[in-house]
Amino acid sequence: MVGKRARLIYNPSSGREEALRKLPYILQTFEKAGFETSCAATEKEGDATRAASEAVVSGFDLIIAAGGDGTLSEVINGMADHAVRPPLGMLPFGTTNDLARALGIPRQWEQAAALIIGQQTRAIDIGKINDRYFINIAGGGSLTELTYEVPSKMKTMLGQLAYYIKGLERLPRLKPLRLRMKGDGVDVQEEAMLFLIANSNSVAGFERLAPGATIDDGLLDVIVVRKMSLPEFIRLAGLVIRGEHMNDPGVLHFRASELEITSSDPVMLNLDGELGGSLPAHCQVLPRHLQIYVDPAGLATYSPPAFGFRVPK
């Protein structure tokens, strides 16, 4: 382990700026564990993608993404095109942290760092739409635009509540889109309120939105919400919160490894909470494309390393 070179890519605004406040202690933790660690801060969109790609080209032994799902998605987009990719570690400082939830990576950065130091990895799938990659979720429709419409400062101040506020603002303006999805023996033509393509079971903070999704099965879980009235949509939202929506007649669910998605309406795409282009789109899964540091034995076996310093709260 000694002598390994780590590149830490962090978003200073993530987690109400927690990543920025804890940066000296994060770097000290990895240095004391034997990692030669350097860091790159993101200032604008695309910075994490460029930093991750440069880290791969420079031959770093591992990359660590410290931030939310948006930062993580950018880092993966910087790594995915390279033929040889180092393992990726996560310090989940974001508002939602979907991939960390799906993989059981703890929210406390000291515990997440211990998993990286432990050097145990799991191969996971990633999704690709056109020329962009996603790790958790892709989607289209009015409500899927929420995550990239919520200002960073609002997320910093209000956390998950910021999304709910924006969602309530949008509800009266919901309208269906004409949608076609074709591939893997499926040909769906629907008027739909929205569609979601999930790579993991944790989507937008809801761990039961795609309950059967598995991050290493070589398939994507596709959920289409059919055209419905506003009262029906609100009723369905209640079912989603309880994890009881999958058998509702207003929900279409199937799995696929590859899809062509088209619409006669203008539809913007959401990839891991960020604007990801528009339809038409070719969507596919890249099986076991990335190695992620995890605790394969379960979090009950975790014990933090003792490095002889105290991290302030």
Structural domains of the chain in order of their starting residue, each with its CATH number: 4-120+294-301 (3.40.50.10330), 132-288 (2.60.200.40)
Instruction: Give the global pTM.
Output: 0.83
pLDDT, residue 148, reads: 46
Q: What percent of the chain has pLDDT over 90?
A: 55
| Beta-strand pair 4-10/35-41 | parallel
Question: Phi and psi of 130, rounded to 5°?
Answer: 55, -120
With contact defined as beta carbons under 8 Å apart, do 98 and 198 qualify?
no
Of 69 and 111, more confident: 111
Q: How far is CA 285 from the centre of its chain?
A: 15
pLDDT reading at 292 higher than 90: yes
Residue 297, pLDDT > 80, answer no
* Tokens describing residue 34: 């034997």
pLDDT score at 302: 41
Give the pLDDT of residue 44.
Answer: 92
Asked if pLDDT for residue 262 goes beyond 90, the answer is yes
Cβ–Cβ under 8 Å, residues 270 and 145: yes
Q: What is the pLDDT at residue 155?
A: 46
pLDDT of residue 204: 65
* Assigned token pair, 80: 């995915």
- Total number of residues shown for the chain: 313
What contacts 24+ positions apart, CB below 8 Å, involve 205-210?
205/95, 205/96, 205/98, 205/101, 205/160, 205/163, 206/240, 206/241, 207/101, 208/240, 208/242, 208/243, 209/240, 209/245
pLDDT digits (tens, 9 = 90+) for 149-175: 445 554 444 344 444 444 445 555 678
233 compared with 181, residue with greater pLDDT? 181
Q: What positions carry a catalytic annotation?
A: 274
